[in-house]
Structure 1
């Protein structure tokens, strides 16, 4: 991982082996983003996600990109339950797609969100009520939103106008009961609302 990041022009300022080390390193170095494995010592279960949640609470300005061997919407929900910005959840297999991984890392460091397509797919296949309200096109738009695409990018991918994307997004927000806010981060909240319903 260190070699991959360094080769792509990233500065790796610390590496750690457990949650306590992660929190200490972030407090010392104040990085733009921390890359965290969900499974860390001593039990290799959920220490990483718990450390990531603590990190977000103590250092909300630090981006967190977590990795997991499996697509677990409940873990993503735990991470996204707070301020849903500067957050990423990727499957470890995505590291092999170096360009995508680095793009996601930069997006999270800049305050954006990067959700693995498999996580989004799991969300859409559970039959949860909010998703049942969406049309097929709205599901596709939300899928692309969850992957971090802008309205312009979605319009280009679906070969429709940006205005059409805006209308689909507005409909999604309405069906998810997400009124406008001062920060207006409904794009992220639309995904978070669904992930929260996937919690056990």
Structure 2
């Protein structure tokens, strides 16, 4: 007679994702990090849309409104050069200081109230985009060391889901906030 090895209990495909979420959220580092991703992703995504609406509102120009997206994404063209900063610096302090710098960077947007002050908005978007490239490079490296390797696949899937989910929800909320309070308040 051969001895049978016990099999793992079968779970339905629908139950597996729920179990992955629970496992990731039970891990302190992964849960905290995922919470930060949701909050940060919401704010960033709301501001991206509002920047273009704000410029269109102040100038009536579709071209200048589109320039907001260009200013935000142009730094990715030098992404490899910016990414070396993340490779040559301690990642945790780099992420902390980058996030604090990004928060402070939004404060000058309180002065944007006319077409003559739009240069402030475009400068903030350009620097925000460059800092985002550095942040993403440092984040990718730090996550691999901060999250348990057994959870890394599930965590990365949840992180991407949270990021993309915020891109769906936040612009609508940002537009509503802009309509009610204006661009400076959305930046805050």
- Higher strand proportion, which one? 1
Structure showing greater radius of gyration is 2
TM-score by length of 1: 0.22
